[in-house]
Amino acid sequence: MNRIWSSWIEKPFALPLALTGVMLAASALGFSWVESETQSEPVGFFEGLWWAMVTLFTVGYGDFAPKTVPGRLLGMAVMASGIGLVSSITGAMASAMVERRMQRRRGLLPVNATGHVLILGWNGHGPLLLERLRRMPELAQAQTVLAADMEPSRFEELVQSLGQGVGLHFVRGDTALKAVLERANPAKARLAFILPGEDVPPEEADNHSVLTTLTLHALAPSLVIYAEALRDAAREHLLRAGATKAVGREELAAKAMAFMASHPVMHDVLHALLAGGNQGSLRYRPLTRQEQAGTWSALVCASLAATGQLPLAACRLPRTLKLSDVLDASQALDSYILELFQAAGRDGPLGSQGPKVALNPGPGTDLTAFDGIIFLERSA
């Protein structure tokens, strides 16, 4: 109760509102007492409150008017005080709105968003990342929250250059701090990207990314986190800290250079595949039960005929292995072993099975063990 009272009296319009309430109550009681015998209809507290309201806000309907000297003096006092009180309230509210807008501009207010994309940190890759995310159909309508230790003026320049408008929010501060990340509302975010800064040495930037990942994973354990590492040696630390995937800048650059070794046109192929958008880009989708029961060749033919999408790879997602996944319950020996472990309460996880991507598997490949496919959208 004390906290509520303390937070209330700290508001700039608390005192004017309190004085207005006291003035209305006192005026209502005074009018109903002084003018109760002078009006054409009975005057009670509600009628007095009505008269006090229209007089205080200088509306003056005229349905009730004081006819005695004390009543008129009371009306003069209410009108005189009403000008000051109403001006104080409107001024305080306008000041509070301006102050809140300034705090939002400085990135000091919590972000009220759901299903948004978090970008923690900023570097030269940030603008291109934002552009590509906007071109993805599944993220085109999602709001983006940028949390970084940058000046508000720089953020405004960024908004103007990217044309993001109201879809881009700003949280200012050190992204390794819990208080800063809480303002970005990570528990309701869809996914997060962690970008290392380029104004510090690579080792220091990667260490800060690891701390950011640890803090973010603690606040939102189920959040998908993609982290960029300036040094390949930092990828393992980012994964241990809670990143879903860690991308090494050195590794990607080397593989991209090697990809172009066969022919210069491979650069254009790689650029087209990573361009994003609705046409000619790579996408993932889960397999249906009917597709899992078939073969790769049947899936490719059906997909091309139905949607024009070209399947390129079959994917198996990470999963936790249990004893029941290894043993065959239809076999007598396996069933007996499984019952023994279950009776002992030992039918827990045996470990994890990592993801698997099979690029263009053979035509007769059974898809039972796979969860989804990577396909290429049809170009216009």
Residue boundaries of the structural domains of the chain: 2-105, 117-254, 275-376
The residue-averaged pLDDT of 33-54 equals 79
Class of domain 117-254: alpha beta
CA atoms of 131 and 142, how far apart (whole Å)? 13
> Does residue 42 come out as left (phi exceeding 0), alpha (psi in the -120 to 50 range) or beta?
beta
What pLDDT was estimated at residue 283? 87
Asked if residue 256 lies in contact with residue 270, where contact means CB atoms within 8 angstroms, the answer is: yes
Question: Which residues fall within 8 angstroms of residue 8, CB to CB, at 6 or more apart?
Answer: 14
What are residue 120's DSSP bridge partners?
147, 194
Q: How far apart (Å, rounded) are the C-alpha atoms in residues 62 and 40?
A: 13
| Residues listed for the chain | 380
**pLDDT at residue 56 is higher than 60:** yes
Question: Hey, is 247 helix, strand or coil?
Answer: strand
User: Is a pLDDT exceeding 70 seen at residue 182?
Assistant: yes
Average pLDDT over residues 62-84: 79
Strands 282-286 and 245-248 come out as unpaired
Q: Which residue has the tokens 């102050």?
A: 99
pLDDT band at 226 (very low <50, low <70, confident <90, very high): very high
Is 26's pLDDT higher than 70? yes
Residues 6+ apart with CB under 8 A from 73: none
> If you classify domain 2-105 with CATH, what class do you get?
mainly alpha
pLDDT (mean) for 25-37: 81
From residue 207, alpha-carbon distances to 17, 218, 230, 346 in Å are 51, 17, 10, 39
**Over 60: is that where the pLDDT of 144 sits?**
yes
Asked whether the predicted pLDDT for residue 64 surpasses 90, the reply is: no
Give yes or no for residue 4 having a pLDDT over 80: no
Which run of H or of E encompasses 301? helix 296-306
Mean pLDDT of the chain: 81
Supply angle C-alpha 360, 361, 364, rounded to 5.
130
Kindly state the tokens that stand for 229.
């590492």
Measured distance CA(165)–CA(226) in Å, rounded: 25
Q: Is the pLDDT of residue 202 over 60?
A: yes
Per-residue pLDDT at 153: 79
Distance between terminal CA atoms of the chain? 64
Residue 160 identity (one-letter amino acid): Q
Mean pLDDT over 273-277 rounds to: 72
35, 51, 68, 292 from 55: Cα distances, Å: 15, 6, 16, 77
Residue 99 has pLDDT above 60, yes or no: yes
Share of the chain above pLDDT 90, in %: 32
Q: How many CA atoms lie within 13 A of 265 on its CB side?
A: 0
- Cβ(130)–Cβ(121) below 8 Å: no
Say yes or no to pLDDT of 170 above 90.
no
CA–CA distance, 165 with 66 (Å, rounded to integer): 55
* Order of all β-strands in the sheet with 282-286: 282-286, 372-376, 310-316, 356-359
The residue assigned the tokens 């005189």 is: 80
Alpha helices in the chain (DSSP H): 2-9, 14-34, 45-56, 69-105, 126-135, 152-162, 178-183, 202-219, 235-241, 249-259, 265-273, 289-292, 296-306, 323-326, 332-343
* Residue 225 pLDDT: 95
Q: Which residue has the higher pLDDT, 207 or 26?
A: 207
Q: What is the pLDDT of residue 23?
A: 81
The CA distance from 315 to 154, in Å, is 41
